[in-house]
A and B are shown apart, each in its own frame.
Chain A
Amino acid sequence: MLRTRKIAIIGLLVGIGLIMHIVEGMIPMAAIIPGAKLGLANIVNLIGLVLFGFAGGLQVLLLRILLGSLIIGTFLTYNFYLSLAGGLLGYLLMSLFYYRFHYRFSLIGISVIGAVFHNLGQITVAYFIIANIGIYYYLPYLILLAVPTGIGVGLVSMFTINYLPEEVVNSA
């Protein structure tokens, strides 16, 4: 029963993440800074991490990136590798901080860390693709924008988890 519930909730989170992944593409953040995104999909990773621990959040992340790239049509292209690297690095650092420094950082801080390292991972892969160290000059602009979006994502995750029914939170 619990296992079924877990699978269903992870499926729901992946579905919400996919919608956010696509809605995010419609918001023209790139007009401000090219390549910048809101990182809305990080909300579901964070919720998955809080509800189901490291493995659950990782499932949500990988499924969301895989299915999202298949839907948009960027599977195994540069975009896919960029988002995979960014997502993995951001998620690893988020879970590290979540388990190690849970009593110090709120979900907002953890989400900011995730957003920052998401950008770091993406830029690093972009560096391997275009083989030009100058791409790192771009990192501060992205991180500066990642701070407010990270705060927003953290707030949304925090409110969502507070409003979730007791049995969903405890089902993990």
Chain B
Amino acid sequence: MQRLLKYLTLYDKILIVSLIIVNVFFILFPLYHVYTGNQDEVGKGYIVIRNNGKVEKKIPVARTFREDPLLIEVEGRIGTSIIEAINGEVRLKEAPPEDPQKICEKTGWISRPGPSIICVPNQISITIEAGEDGLDGVSW
């Protein structure tokens, strides 16, 4: 160790020490974000409500992070559906009474791109679309 220090010039030492400090910082900085639960990834998508095949409403998921649930009423073919969204999750709260089976109500909450809530009699569908076309994983 003594011999090693003899070979290093002043600038070498500055370079090595600063590299170590900067990189320890860059290792700890993202971890800090992980542990404090920074949810950058959540809330970039959109809740898309389609009525009779056409996009009726497109709401950023970020807008659902609030105290009281966001209630949206959509006039469908046989009646009014009430959609509830809060904390990044969305469900169809109340299907119109004319809906015989109310499958859309029973679907429950969705919070990710992929599953969808579909109300066939009322011709309403709710999906969540990712804000950016991110990849799940890459392999070769």
Q: Given A109-B15, A151-B4, 15 more contacts at CB 8 Å? A: A104-B11, A105-B9, A105-B11, A105-B12, A108-B12, A109-B8, A112-B16, A140-B26, A140-B27, A141-B27, A144-B23, A147-B16, A147-B19, A155-B7, A158-B7
Q: Mark B107-121, 1 if CB is under 8 A from A, else 0.
A: 000000000000000
Size class of the contact patch on chain B: 20 to 34
**Lowest 4 CB-CB distances: which A-B pairs, in order?**
A109-B12, A140-B26, A140-B23, A104-B11
Closest approach, in angstroms, between the C-beta of A17 and any C-beta of chain B? 23
Q: Which residues of A contact B (CB under 8 A)?
A: 78, 101, 104-106, 108-109, 112-113, 116, 130-132, 137, 139-141, 143-144, 147, 151, 155, 158
Q: By DSSP majority rule, is chain B's interface helix, strand, loop, or mixed?
A: helix
List chain B residues, Cβ under 8 A from A101: 11
Task: Please name the residue on chain B nearest to A109 by beta carbon.
Answer: B12
Q: Name B4-63 residues within 8 Å CB distance of A.
A: 4, 7-12, 15-16, 19-20, 22-24, 26-27, 30
